[in-house]
């Protein structure tokens, strides 16, 4: 089963005695705590629960007091508070000022408590559990009007808002990059946050972008403006222009806490100068909002920017609108499902992957500056949320009443799987369903099958299967080393979670480091068991610091040995700083497994390295030519020129035939190809632009190496007439004659 856990509570991040002392002194400040590598979202100086949401550790406040809807546990859940009728008649601060003081006195505490919940958050009992929600979440639930009226409380949204509050609190972060499923409420949540921040901000600008200008305008007019219009008077600032503007919402004076001291007279409000806050939208383009300063940028449907628009280019521009020098002064709230890869999905995927909180530079920032969050569909699928906001993951023994008061007798996971099973005959429809309602990040970035050179159905079948099984027990990460550090002795494999090799099979001890000497030269002792394919590189560094990676794959053959047949057992896709480090990595893998290698000889440094070290016997000659037809260089170092059109076609055909035979579901069983990087590389492989697909090149060469007899040139037979000395007769007419 896929993981249903979206977060975990970390109990031992700070020693209990230390935590008690710091809480007693109220020592925790809102923001990033470098000492404990923790982002504190508490605004009262305390830290209670510490959440780990996909690698991001967040300190929540201690819950000292929580609202109880009922003393009966089962009746405790979120319910929007009724707005007092006496206040609902008041439309503005100016109206409020016309009411007598004794009327106002009755409502000061109510108004102050609403401002406090907006600022610090709110806690309530939910099915017996004290539950904290952030101020932004409270504003969404209590004061945001959405298309169905009031928003529902969902546990998934609570976690989203906690993550978002931590993004706002973290001075290293530019905002959130949220990979979502369809109808998860992001557009309304982003609109709510925009209005909530704008109505308490001075001299600030808030911007909206979407996949098209029309979509951005629709979000502004259909969501942002109505939310602002429906705010209670004490949250609503003085507004310029039309009540329902089409392009810009301008607040002449931001709202302020309406306490006894801060409720101003109409004349005083008019005299305040220099306060100007606006919300607007822009047409979609790489340079939208270029040169402007924003406090909040909402990026809706950012995974659907199609050519010529490019979300990566736009983010490089708009990122600068959120900072002054090195100081981050604004945040971005970005969220989307993903289009097919060539329709904007590829760029969004790169941006999402560059936003992982677990991969930071020396400044503590991610490559993009954003923090990525993925919430699987089972947490947010409509119709499968109970009244406590918790997903109905598994099929219940007895029907459960959902938040919309309907009976649910099937779990969301089973329901989703039934949908998947019904679409398996239409792979493009299935992939679209995966993108709209993903349970994994791989689902979210599924591509269209018509874009793939190979059988994408089988590739995705294998990917899905790999995600369901425990990969940690099938793949080991690590490095190879010479025993005692002495080269050309024996090699051992050392597990290391930062290693460059990924392996799924290790030969028995009697097969490891097996070498055969032929005329004093070293040859692999397990050539009958399998072979390697390699896409090498010759230059250690490149101008842009990127360049192709070195790639190595190992594949077994069918043999009489006790080994898994036709199985990729090794994957290496890396670019060490020094090319010779890569060459040595390859050599140690060859020696350990005792298998030969088929490598490209148009990048010959690896092959010369093997020859110089005495391992020329491990390099396979090009299989499509007889030895006496090889060039001098090919005889010297082996290898194959993988650049001719015939070789390109043979290479692609080798991968294609392997996928059809051994990947995905075949003969009532799934294949044992467990390397996701290679599977994803196959899914995107482009025959006309092969340089980007290192894993495909090396894996295809490994397949060709294991089947080199298929590429051997056939001998041309020339028939010459042979005289047997037998007389022939012409039998025309009445008398036969010797010819």
**What is residue 568's predicted lDDT score, i.e. its pLDDT?**
97
**What is residue 275's predicted lDDT score, i.e. its pLDDT?**
53
**What is residue 14's predicted lDDT score, i.e. its pLDDT?**
93
pLDDT for residue 523 is more than 50: yes
**What is residue 578's predicted lDDT score, i.e. its pLDDT?**
85
**What is residue 91's predicted lDDT score, i.e. its pLDDT?**
87
pLDDT for residue 717 is more than 60: no
Partners of 104 in the beta sheet? Answer: none
φ/ψ of 550, rounded to 5, equals -80, 135
| CATH 3.60.20.10 at 472-711, yes or no | no
Give the integer Cα–Cα distance in Å for 471 and 526.
27
Count the Cβ atoms, other than its own, within 10 Å of residue 333: 25
Q: Which residue has the higher pLDDT, 686 or 263?
A: 686
Give the integer Cα–Cα distance in Å for 36 and 33.
6
Q: Which residue has the higher pLDDT, 660 or 737?
A: 660
φ/ψ of 712, rounded to 5, equals -65, 140
**What is residue 428's predicted lDDT score, i.e. its pLDDT?**
81
Confidence of residue 728 (pLDDT cuts 50, 70, 90): low
**What is residue 713's predicted lDDT score, i.e. its pLDDT?**
79
pLDDT for residue 258 is more than 50: no
**What is residue 432's predicted lDDT score, i.e. its pLDDT?**
87
Partners of 478 in the beta sheet? Answer: 495, 501
Give the integer Cα–Cα distance in Å for 351 and 475.
27
Buried b (16+ CB within 10 A) or exposed e, 58-78: bbbbbbeeeeeeeeeeeebbb
Q: What is the arithmetic mean of pLDDT over 374-394? A: 93
**What is residue 26's predicted lDDT score, i.e. its pLDDT?**
94
Confidence of residue 103 (pLDDT cuts 50, 70, 90): very high
Fold of the domain spanning 152-375: Rossmann fold (3.40.50)
- Distance from first CA to last CA of the chain, Å, rounded? 86
- Tens of pLDDT, residues 10-46: 988 999 999 999 999 999 999 999 999 999 999 999 9
Q: How many CA atoms lie within 13 A of 338 on its CB side?
A: 28
pLDDT for residue 143 is more than 80: yes
DSSP string, 477-545: EEEEEEGGG-TTS-EEEEE-TT-SEEES----TTTTT-EEEETTEEEETTTTTEEEEEE----S--TTS
Q: What is the arithmetic mean of pLDDT over 545-566? A: 85
Which of 103-112, 229-238, 470-479 shows the lowest per-residue confidence on average (mean pLDDT)?
470-479
434 with 446: CB under 8 angstroms? yes
pLDDT for residue 461 is more than 50: yes
**What is residue 457's predicted lDDT score, i.e. its pLDDT?**
82
**What is residue 4's predicted lDDT score, i.e. its pLDDT?**
56
Q: What is the arithmetic mean of pLDDT over 104-132? A: 95
Contact partners, residue 502, CB within 8 Å, separation at least 6: 475, 476, 477, 570, 571, 572, 675
Q: How many CA atoms lie within 13 A of 23 on its CB side?
A: 18
**Residue spans per domain, the chain:** 1-62, 152-375, 379-451, 472-711
DSSP string, 562-617: SS-TT-EEEEEEE--SSHHHHHHHHHHHHHHHT--EEEBSSSTHHHHHHHHTT-GG
Q: What is the arithmetic mean of pLDDT over 586-595? A: 96
pLDDT for residue 131 is more than 90: yes
pLDDT for residue 494 is more than 70: yes
DSSP string, 88-131: HT--SHHHHHTS-HHHHHHHHHHHHHHHHHHHH-EEEEETTEEE
Alpha helices in 344-455 (DSSP H): 345-353, 412-422, 427-436, 441-444
Q: What is the arithmetic mean of pLDDT over 207-234? A: 94
What is the overall mean pLDDT for the chain?
88
Confidence of residue 240 (pLDDT cuts 50, 70, 90): confident
Q: What is the arithmetic mean of pLDDT over 380-390? A: 93
**What is residue 266's predicted lDDT score, i.e. its pLDDT?**
39
Q: What percent of the chain has pLDDT over 90?
A: 64
pLDDT for residue 164 is more than 70: yes
pLDDT for residue 260 is more than 50: no
Give the integer Cα–Cα distance in Å for 701 and 693.
13
Q: Which residue has the higher pLDDT, 279 or 691?
A: 279
CA distances in angstroms from 203 to 273, 395, 687, listed in the order given: 10, 52, 54
**What is residue 716's predicted lDDT score, i.e. its pLDDT?**
59
């Amino acid at each position: 089963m896929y993981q249903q856990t979206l977060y975990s509570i970390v109990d031992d991040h700070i020693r209990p005695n230390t935590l008690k002392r710091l809480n007693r002194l109220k020592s925790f400040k809102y923001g990033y705590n470098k000492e404990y590598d923790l982002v504190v979202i508490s605004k009262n100086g305390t830290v209670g629960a510490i959440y780990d949401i996909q690698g991001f550790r967040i300190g929540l406040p201690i819950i000292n007091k929580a609202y109880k809807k009922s003393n009966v546990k089962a009746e405790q859940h979120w319910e929007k508070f009724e707005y007092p009728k006496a206040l609902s008649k008041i439309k503005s601060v100016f109206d409020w000022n016309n009411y007598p003081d004794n009327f106002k006195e009755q409502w000061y505490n109510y108004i102050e408590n609403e401002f406090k919940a907006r600022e610090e958050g709110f806690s309530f009992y939910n099915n017996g559990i004290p539950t904290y929600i952030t101020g932004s979440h409270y504003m969404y639930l209590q004061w945001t009007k959405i298309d169905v009226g009031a928003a529902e409380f969902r546990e998934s949204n609570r976690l989203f808002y906690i993550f978002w509050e931590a993004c706002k609190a973290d001075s290293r972060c530019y905002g959130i990059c949220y990979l979502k499923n369809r109808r998860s409420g992001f557009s309304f949540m982003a609109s709510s946050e925009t209005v909530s921040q704008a109505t308490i901000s001075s001299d600030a600008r808030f911007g909206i972008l979407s996949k098209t200008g029309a979509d951005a305008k629709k979000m502004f007019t259909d969501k942002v403006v109505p939310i602002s219009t429906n705010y209670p008077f004490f949250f609503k600032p003085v507004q310029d222009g039309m009540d329902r503007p089409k392009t810009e919402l301008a607040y002449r004076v931001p709202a302020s806490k309406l306490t006894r001291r801060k409720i101003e007279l109409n004349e005083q409000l008019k005299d305040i100068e220099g306060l100007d806050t606006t919300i607007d939208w822009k047409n979609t383009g790489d340079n939208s909002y270029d040169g402007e300063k924003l406090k909040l940028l909402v990026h809706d449907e950012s995974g659907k920017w199609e050519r010529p628009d490019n979300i990566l280019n736009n983010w490089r521009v708009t990122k600068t609108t959120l900072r002054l020098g090195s100081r981050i002064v604004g945040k971005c709230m970005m969220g989307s499902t993903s289009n097919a890869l060539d329709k904007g999905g590829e760029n969004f995927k790169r941006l999402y992957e560059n936003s992982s909180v677990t991969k930071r530079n020396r400044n503590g920032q991610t490559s993009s500056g954003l923090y990525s969050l993925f919430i699987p569909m089972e947490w947010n699928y409509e119709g499968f949320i109970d009244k406590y906001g918790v997903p109905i993951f598994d099929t219940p023994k007895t029907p459960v009443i959902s938040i919309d008061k309907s009976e649910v007798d099937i779990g969301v996971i089973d329901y989703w799987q039934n949908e998947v099973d019904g679409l398996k005959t239409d792979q493009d429809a299935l992939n679209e369903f995966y993108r709209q309602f993903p349970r994994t990040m791989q689902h979210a970035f599924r591509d269209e099958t018509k874009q793939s050179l190979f059988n994408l159905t089988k590739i995705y079948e294998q990917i899905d299967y790999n995600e369901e099984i425990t990969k940690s027990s099938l793949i080991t990460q690590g490095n190879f080393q010479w025993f005692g550090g002495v080269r050309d002795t024996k090699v051992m494999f050392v597990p290391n979670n930062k290693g460059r090799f990924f392996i799924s099979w290790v030969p028995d001890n009697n097969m490891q480091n097996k070498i055969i000497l032929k005329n004093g030269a070293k040859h692999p002792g397990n050539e009958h068991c399998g072979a390697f394919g390699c896409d090498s590189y010759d230059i250690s560094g490149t101008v842009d610091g990127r360049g192709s990676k070195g790639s190595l794959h190992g594949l077994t053959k069918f043999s009489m040995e006790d080994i898994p047949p036709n199985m990729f057992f090794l994957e290496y896709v890396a670019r060490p700083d020094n090319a010779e480090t890569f060459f040595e990595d390859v050599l140690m893998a060859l020696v350990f497994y005792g298998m030969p290698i088929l490598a490209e000889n148009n990048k010959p440094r690896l092959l010369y390295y093997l020859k110089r070290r005495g391992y020329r016997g491990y390099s396979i000659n090009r299989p499509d030519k007889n030895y006496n037809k090889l060039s001098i260089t090919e005889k010297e170092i082996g290898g194959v020129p993988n650049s001719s059109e015939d070789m390109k076609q043979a290479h692609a055909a080798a991968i294609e035939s392997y996928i059809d035979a051994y990947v995905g579901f075949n003969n009532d069983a799934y294949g044992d190809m467990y390397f996701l990087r290679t599977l994803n590389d196959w899914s995107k492989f482009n025959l006309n632009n092969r340089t980007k697909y290192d894993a495909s090149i090396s894996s295809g060469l490994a397949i060709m190496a294991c089947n080199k007899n298929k590429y051997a040139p056939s001998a041309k037979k020339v028939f010459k007439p042979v005289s047997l000395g037998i007389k022939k007769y012409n039998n025309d007419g009445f008398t036969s004659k010797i010819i």
